[in-house]
């Protein structure tokens, strides 16, 4: 039983309507009903467009005083809601309530089509559009439409060229905040995503997922010419250039063309004389990491390539191939 006390009779009556479900005040535009006259007046501003409350810092206007008060915390830096688990602070109560579900695991919003559950109602609404096919947010420039407003805002930057997120180390700018966060890990060396099988770590979640396919043997991407399968879409695209003879990367010194950018970079070291990879035993330098690995086998005596006819071993694959010609009689 509610024992709340009131100083005015009107407040008591309004409070009693909340418990009784009585809503005597109805909007003449959308027929939504309210228990308090003040709530009806505030609601009607949605239809009239009236915004009586203006921020004295940025002049943004609001139709409710409470929304203005919340907004002003952005300027004041006030964060009145603090999580008692991780001490993270929030400007808005709604954000605070949503955050607490991370710790509790609570997911009160469930999709009535596939039963997938969400901690935030907006995420459920966005998810349900995957079933309905609804794309309510349209770009005025190219007419492309999106399920989420945030995706539309990000897309519009492709037309405006806006890059609002800048790295404070190297000043590289990004159109999406998540791309800035990923980029900053290059400077910090942070690798928060670890493989449970081999313990290799990555600075991006997508890179971890791609890596895990090595262990699972999963290959989603198949060539429609030769049916060879790949675990990365980029590797499939590179492979398909072999069939069409496409070589989009050209050396600006000798005009030699390559089907992969990495092969062009390696080739250009021939012209520049650049040798990044140095042997830690004899200090001999190489322009390719693979050549360094092959060289280091001389020091450790490793010979991983074995002839299946006479069992002779070699430290380079090309040496094995040349040797096998002795048995086959083939001339290279």
Reported confidence tier of residue 67, pLDDT bands at 50, 70, 90: confident
Domains for the chain: give ranges and CATH numbers: 15-75 (3.30.160.60), 81-156 (3.30.160.60)
Residue with tokens 């989009």: 248
pLDDT surpasses 70 at 3: no
Reported confidence tier of residue 325, pLDDT bands at 50, 70, 90: confident
HEC-encoded secondary structure of 32-66: CEECCHHHHHHHHHHHHCCCCEECCCCCCEECCHH
What share of the chain in percent tops pLDDT 90?
Answer: 23
pLDDT (tens digit per residue) in 46-60: 787 788 888 888 888
pLDDT (tens digit per residue) in 104-141: 989 999 999 999 999 888 889 989 999 999 999 999 99
Is the CA virtual torsion 177, 182, 183, 188 positive or negative? positive
- Look at 27-41, 89-103, 182-196, 269-283 and tell me which has the smallest mean pLDDT: 27-41
Which phi and psi angles does 30 have, rounded to 5°?
-115, 0
DSSP state of 144: -
76 touches 91 (CB < 8 A)? no
pLDDT (tens digit per residue) in 289-310: 888 888 888 898 888 889 999 9
Residue 34 CB: number of other CB atoms within 10 A?
A: 19
């Amino acid at each position: 039983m509610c024992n709340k006390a009131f100083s005015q009779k009107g407040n008591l009556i309004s409070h009693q309507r909340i418990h009784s479900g009585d809503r005597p005040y109805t909007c003449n535009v959308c027929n939504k009903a309210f228990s308090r006259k003040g709530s009806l007046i505030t609601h009607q501003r949605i239809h009239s467009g009236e915004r009586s409350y203006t921020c004295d810092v940025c002049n943004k206007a609001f139709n409710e005083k409470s929304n203005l008060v919340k907004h002003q915390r952005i300027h004041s830096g006030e964060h009145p809601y603090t999580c008692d688990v991780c001490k993270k602070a929030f400007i808005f109560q709604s954000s605070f309530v949503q955050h607490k579900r991370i710790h509790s695991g609570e997911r009160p919003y469930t999709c009535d089509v596939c039963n997938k559950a969400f901690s935030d109602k907006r995420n459920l609404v966005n998810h349900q559009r995957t079933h309905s096919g609804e794309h309510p947010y349209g770009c005025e420039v190219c007419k492309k439409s999106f399920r989420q407003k945030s995706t539309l805002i990000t897309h519009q930057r492709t037309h405006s060229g806006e890059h609002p997120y800048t790295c404070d180390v190297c000043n590289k700018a990004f159109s999406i905040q998540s791309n800035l966060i990923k980029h900053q890990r290059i400077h910090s060396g942070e690798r928060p995503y670890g493989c449970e099988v081999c313990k290799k770590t990555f600075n991006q979640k997508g890179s971890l997922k791609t890596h895990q396919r090595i262990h699972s043997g999963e290959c989603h991407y198949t060539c429609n010419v030769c049916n060879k399968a790949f675990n990365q879409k980029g590797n499939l695209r590179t492979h398909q250039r072999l069939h069409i003879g496409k070589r989009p990367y050209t050396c600006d010194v000798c005009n030699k063309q390559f089907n992969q950018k990495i092969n062009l970079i390696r080739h250009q070291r021939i012209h520049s004389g650049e040798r990044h990879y140095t042997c830690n035993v004899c200090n001999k330098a190489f322009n390719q990491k693979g050549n360094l690995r092959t060289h280091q086998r001389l020091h450790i005596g490793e010979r991983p390539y074995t002839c299946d006819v006479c069992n002779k071993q070699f430290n380079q694959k090309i040496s094995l191939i040349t040797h096998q010609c002795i048995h086959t009689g083939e001339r290279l």
